Amino acid sequence: MIRRYSLKGRRYSEANTRIAAPAMAPSRLRMPPTTIRYVTGAKGQLLEEHVPQGREALTPYASLQPEVSSFDAYVESIVERCRKIGEFGAPLIKENAKLLTHCNAGALATVDYGTALAPMRLAHDRGVSFFVWVDETRPRLQGSKLTAWELLNEGIDHAVIADNAAGHYFQRGEVDLVITGADRIVANGDFANKIGTYGKALLAKEHGVPFYVAAPLSTFDFSKKSGALIPIEERGEDEVTLIGAERLAPSGSRARNPAFDVTPARLVAGFITEVGILKADELKRVMSARLRAAASKPRAPLPVGRRGKTRR
């Protein structure tokens, strides 16, 4: 099992660490010496049991308690959101269903339950029997390396397939449901996710298979009206032309490597969130709720100057 484990066993994603940092003490978080799971230091190196002495050395766990407690509270809030995503999404998974997922949106991407994998975990815990097609997710193979590993540890039946094989299984009627995660969802319901997601959504639409996106409300970005405004990262050519140290493409051949693509809202059956399953045309309610919540938060008093005047 790779979830519901102690603080020492958790892998905190870079994004979650950045969000949590302001709520923590000013000093950089140091994990206990027994921590070896994927946690990176300030210079991006992997912090293992044996780390260099000096600025990058791990400090005793006891001195970290206030920071760890703050961080742990933040992480537990994420765990609860993901659990709720699982609660709302699990009923979509019927007995003997065949699912398809793309990239990794599990415990290795968030904590404990994940997002796209949360409905699968809860359905499995409830005794539902189902099968998952796992896209390998070229070029970095997150599906093959990460999602398959998580499903294997959960005991969920699955098979890794080449990205280009998905259409074959759709055509044969061997996909009943698609659930993916999302990196960003904008105001009209368009969303960005790992490259290849758009193609799977088109296949699902063509074959009448419902396509769901599992993501917490923190993924929604209402500052952008459509997916056309989402910037797309272009990564290095070597990820495409090489596998490990082995070159696949001829020397001199160029490659393009967009990391994400944008799927239009019209292809999405629903967004599985911690507050329920939402349609694209219901996202305005989420935006309104956020604005009301922000307006209701108590504001800190303005600082007072030496003569009793409020400084602005």
Q: Which residues have a catalytic role annotated?
A: 183
Name every residue whose Cβ is closer than 8 Å to that of residue 103 and which is 6 or more positions away in sequence.
135, 137, 142, 143, 147, 180, 181, 193, 194, 196, 197
Place of tokens 């495409």: 240
- Residue type at position 235: R
Closest residue by Cα to residue 100 from 185, 26, 159: 159
Rounded-to-integer distance, Cα 67 and Cα 138, Å: 37
